[in-house]
């Protein structure tokens, strides 16, 4: 049993550490996923706290994974880990069976697995976590004295420090479509040679209370005993005719679409993104104004992009 418990500890611990590190690469990604759940569950009051919750959850995953491996405060962490895995299993089950959330984002944006695979992964982890709780008294700490405490403190500092760096700068590895070096104008278009989705028309007829599907080649158009019910289009073959960037749209406050105009401008174009003017930092405004002056002197387009209202945006610009 000793070796089985070690194997389970390694599987659970390493998986939690890996999952936490992948998400720590971009804590904002998890916070946006939390916002999706809060939106669906009508818990909008939780949205201001999503980033803080994201950072804490990611740090706990990494810390708990290390605790399982070294057996630190094991009785406490075994129960906490079981609670967390139970919560994750509930979330992945909700994503899989409700269809209201596209994906759970359990491994961040860099590693994509299907919702069904994610759910069964969590079910297996839940079973393993239950085993670790049952046999918690048989697991002893690897390190004695203060060594384990030092390792845990170092892990916590690393987990929070990594996320702080990613939030203050950029993700260590950007897996999203807007990473540095991407040509938005090119990636917003369907790539040449792409294969479109292929659909087939399906005719639904009814006879003696039984409905049956037919294709356009064999539907019983001459048999009056069959009654037409409906016609649908069924996806026969999934293609790849989708651009890498599908949601980049620029419009003014009058609703005019300026996306193509801005993206096809010759030379340099500066885009200043301000998600929420009320929360935006202003400590670098002098440097930004200097850049704006250079753009104005050299006739270089400079745009501020924001999803805020017109009044909120103009009030911010006046600063």
Q: What pLDDT was estimated at residue 317? A: 77
pLDDT, position 182: 85
Using pLDDT thresholds of 50, 70 and 90, give the confidence band for residue 125: very high
Instruction: Report pLDDT for 128.
Output: 94
Give pLDDT tens digits for 276-290: 888 787 788 888 889
Choose between 29 and 109: higher pLDDT.
Answer: 29
Answer whether residue 109 shows pLDDT above 80. Answer: no
Say if residues 88 and 122 touch (Cβ distance below 8 Å): yes
Q: Rounded to whole angstroms, how far apart are CA atoms 310 and 108?
A: 33
pLDDT at residue 22 in the model? 92
- Which tokens in the block code for residue 305? 């992009």
- pLDDT value at position 208? 87
Q: Name the 3-class secondary structure at 178.
A: coil
pLDDT class of 107 with cuts at 50, 70, 90: confident
234 burial class (0-12, 13-18, 19+ CB within 10 angstroms)?
exposed
Interval 155-194: pLDDT, tens? 999 999 999 999 988 888 887 778 888 888 888 888 887 8
Q: Out of 99-103, 107-111, 133-137, 185-189, which region has the weakest mean confidence (pLDDT)?
A: 107-111
DSSP H or E run through 32:
helix 27-40
Mean pLDDT of the chain: 88
Query: Cα(245)–Cα(4) distance, rounded to whole angstroms?
Result: 46
Q: Examine the pLDDT at 291 and tell me if it is beyond 80.
A: yes
302-312 burial: b if 16+ Cβ within 10 Å, else e: beeebebeeee
């Amino acid at each position: 049993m000793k070796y089985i418990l070690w194997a389970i500890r390694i599987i659970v611990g390493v998986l939690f550490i890996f999952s936490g590190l992948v998400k720590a690469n971009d804590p904002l990604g998890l916070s946006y996923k939390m916002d999706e759940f809060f939106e669906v569950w009508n818990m909008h009051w939780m949205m201001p706290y999503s980033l803080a919750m994201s950072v804490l959850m990611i740090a706990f995953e990494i810390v708990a994974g290390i605790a399982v491996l070294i057996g630190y405060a094991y009785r406490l962490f075994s129960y906490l880990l079981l609670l967390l895995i139970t919560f994750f299993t509930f979330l992945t089950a909700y994503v899989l069976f409700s269809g209201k959330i596209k994906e759970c984002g359990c491994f961040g944006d860099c590693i994509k697995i299907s919702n069904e695979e994610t759910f069964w992964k969590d079910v297996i982890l839940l079973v393993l976590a239950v085993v670790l709780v049952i046999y918690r008294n048989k697991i002893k700490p690897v390190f004695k004295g203060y060594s384990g405490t030092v390792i845990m403190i170092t892990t916590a500092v690393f987990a929070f420090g990594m996320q702080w760096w990613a939030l203050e700068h950029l993700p260590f590895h950007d897996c999203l479509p807007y990473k540095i070096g991407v040509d938005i104008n090119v990636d917003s278009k369907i790539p040449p040679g792409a294969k479109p989705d292929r659909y087939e028309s399906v005719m639904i007829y009814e006879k003696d209370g039984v409905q049956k599907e037919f294709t356009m080649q064999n539907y019983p158009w001459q048999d009056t005993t069959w009654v037409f019910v409906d016609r649908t289009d069924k996806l026969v073959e999934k293609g790849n005719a989708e651009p890498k960037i599908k949601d980049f749209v620029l419009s003014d406050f009058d609703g005019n679409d300026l996306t193509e105009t801005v993206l096809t401008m010759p030379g340099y174009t500066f885009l200043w993104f301000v998600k929420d003017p009320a929360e935006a930092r202003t400590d670098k405004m002098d440097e930004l104004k200097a850049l704006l002056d250079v753009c104005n002197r050299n006739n270089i387009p400079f745009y501020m992009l924001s999803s805020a209202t017109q009044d909120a945006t103009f009030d911010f610009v006046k600063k």
